[in-house]
Amino acid sequence: MNTSYFAPRAPAPDSQDAKSPVLSKPLWQLLNLTAKSVHEVMLGRSATAVLLGLDLSFKPGVQSLLFLSLRQWGLAKAIRASLVAKKPTPQIDHLLCVCLALMCDENDLPYEPHTLVNQAVQAAKANVNTAGQSAMLNAVLRRFLRERQEILDAVSEQAEAKYKHPLWWIKRLQIDHPNDWAHILEVAQTPAVMTLRVNEAQQTRDAYALELASVGLQAKPMGDSALVLDQPVGVQRLPGFEAGAVSVQDANAQRAAPLLLEAFDELRLARLLALQGQASQAGGPEGPKPMASESPKALPLFSILDACAAPGGKTAHLLELLSPKHKGRPLALRASKDWQVEVHAVELEPKRAQKVVESLDRGRLQARVWVGDAAKSEAWTQLSGAAGLAPPMSYQAILLDAPCSASGIVRRHPDIRWLRRADDIARLFEVQSRLLKHLWAQLAPAGVLLYCTCSVFKDEGERQINSFLKHNSDASKLPSPGHLIPQKTANDPTLLDNQASDQDGFYYALLQKSPSP
């Protein structure tokens, strides 16, 4: 963080409110750090990055206040505009709006309002950049408490105040989802629950649920292998987490690996392997590039690429499902004496690629992890896996979890709505188009590509795929989920909620390549 944003003075005496969450630091300090964090978000830094820069003793409290503030930010700005004729300087403005955000919902107040006002004034006085405006802060906050309902009524029909998202975001949802847009915005205000993906190559979901119960954790089943915890916990409390028995992954994200692998039924798999064998014998460009370790009698190689793979949850899920020890429903593509399956993962940034390696190492899983642009395989560098081997020239299956606005996961990351700009969507559309074009060229004849984004915007889903199909006559769309709308769950709101959602917004499209040009 930019330490010059707030210049601390000597701390004032601590004050604690019995109604507030248990905090290890004085509230005035947390308010100052929250205002500073909001400032960083408005400059374009993600809340995740901002929180990583905090002292660990401050992080839980600041995260709680930051997430609450960002969810109410549209309303807080409207209230401030109605109370202050001239917009204050950023330092005092962000502190003021944070306090208004924490005070605006009478049914969900984290602190007693008068305690919050007193601590806000103390926070302002404790910093040289805001001390001179502490009286103004005090007057504005106290006026809001006196005239709360009148002020809320006055701003209630302003779109950003009512729906707590940027106006461009609201309008785009109204166009894309005319029947569901209000529900999508409502769900975005609901903190998400914590969802687990059980590694059924180790044990069944029911068996793991019993393990959770043995350590006092209750969970409900969802989907094929997911469990939803009644209350979020740190991963260190999950039995077998370090041994890869379970991962944190939202329920809709867990659809990716099964969707791709189940596309290869016995008939489609046999046809693809036959085409691959013909191409290899003919030495055609579609055949996989020979590996250094392969002999002339090597089994046919079925290669799967997870493109844009970080942090590695989908790569790990692919490998778990492919394991012959998996206890779930059968897959035609599981390990066989007739072919060998190999999984590759590529990520653009080295640090993010390392996250994929760490995710696989935790589950004792093997894949070849590469660093580089997914659209430029000739420039990839290997990070893990068998050394000295080049990536295949083509893959039989590709999972493209494309970069997107992340508009489907705002429950977990409420900063996203304020980080994105309207023109980001057109830029991301071009990035997704470029990746689709180049990866399609790397897909073997009769192969399948699964395109997905964690977005509810149709430019990043339905319209992107319709455009691709229009310009690629060798592509056909298989039955696919399409746009999945985020759903509200009956969980109690919690401050510390930066966990995976049970039902985020997603888009999925399965595309098959023609057997021949």
Q: What are 326-366's pLDDT values in tens digits?
A: 988 889 888 677 788 999 999 999 999 999 999 999 999 99
- Helix (H) or strand (E) holding 76, with range, is helix 73-83
Task: For residue 99, give both structure tokens.
Answer: 């306090």
Q: Which helix (H) or strand (E) holds 246?
A: strand 246-248
Q: pLDDT tens for residues 77-106?
A: 999 999 998 889 999 999 999 999 999 988
Q: Which residue has the tokens 């041994």?
A: 243
* Local structure of residue 479 (DSSP, 8 states): E
In this structure, of 52-56, 151-155, 455-459, the range with the lowest mean pLDDT score is 52-56
191 confidence band (pLDDT: 50, 70, 90):
confident
Between CA 62 and CA 54 the distance in angstroms is 9
> In this predicted structure, what is the pLDDT of residue 290?
41
Please give the residue that has the higher pLDDT: either 49 or 276: 49
Q: What is the pLDDT of residue 9?
A: 33
Q: What percent of the chain has pLDDT over 70?
A: 87
- Amino acid identity of residue 451, one-letter, is Y
Higher pLDDT, 468 or 18: 468
**How would you classify the pairing of strands 395-401 and 475-484?**
unpaired
Q: Which residues of 36-72 are buried (b: 16+ CB within 10 A; e: fewer)?
A: bbbbbbeeebebeebbeebeeebbbbbbbbbbbbbbb
pLDDT digits (tens, 9 = 90+) for 259-305: 999 999 888 888 888 887 666 555 544 444 444 444 445 677 899 99
| Tokens 């793979």 -> residue | 309
Q: What is the pLDDT of residues 401-443, one digit of tens each?
A: 999 999 999 999 999 999 999 999 999 999 999 999 999 999 9
Residue 140: pLDDT over 60 = yes
Active site residues: 454
| Residue 18's pLDDT band (cuts 50, 70, 90) | very low
Tokens standing for residue 382: 């290997």
What is the C-alpha separation between 322 and 302, in angstroms, rounded?
12
Give the mean model confidence (pLDDT) for residues 393-401: 95
Question: In angstroms, rounded to a whole number, what is the distance separating the alpha carbons of residues 286 and 218?
Answer: 50
- Surface-to-core class of residue 180, CB atoms within 10 Å of its CB (0-12 exposed, 13-18 middle, 19+ buried): middle
- With contact defined as beta carbons under 8 Å apart, do 486 and 501 qualify? yes
pLDDT at 495: 32
SS3 state of residue 326? coil
Please give the angle made by the CA atoms of 223, 502 and 239, to the nearest 5 degrees: 80
Residue 339 is predicted with a pLDDT of: 81
Residue 397 has pLDDT above 90, yes or no: yes
Residue among 41, 125, 75, 504 at smallest CA distance from 313: 504
Quote the tokens at residue 130: 């805001």
DSSP 8-state assignment for residue 237: G
C-alpha separations of 330 from 186, 270, 483 in Å: 39, 16, 27
DSSP strand pairing (226-229 vs 443-453): unpaired
For β-strands 381-384 and 395-401, DSSP reports them as unpaired
Residue pointed to by tokens 């002999």: 295
pLDDT at 500: 35
- So what's the pLDDT on residue 219? 95
Exposed / middle / buried, residue 17 (Cβ in 10 Å: 0-12, 13-18, 19+): middle
Q: How many CB atoms lie within 10 A of CB 477?
A: 15
Q: Give the model's pLDDT for residue 279.
A: 62
Mean pLDDT on 388-398: 85
Whether 453 contacts 404, CB under 8 Å: yes
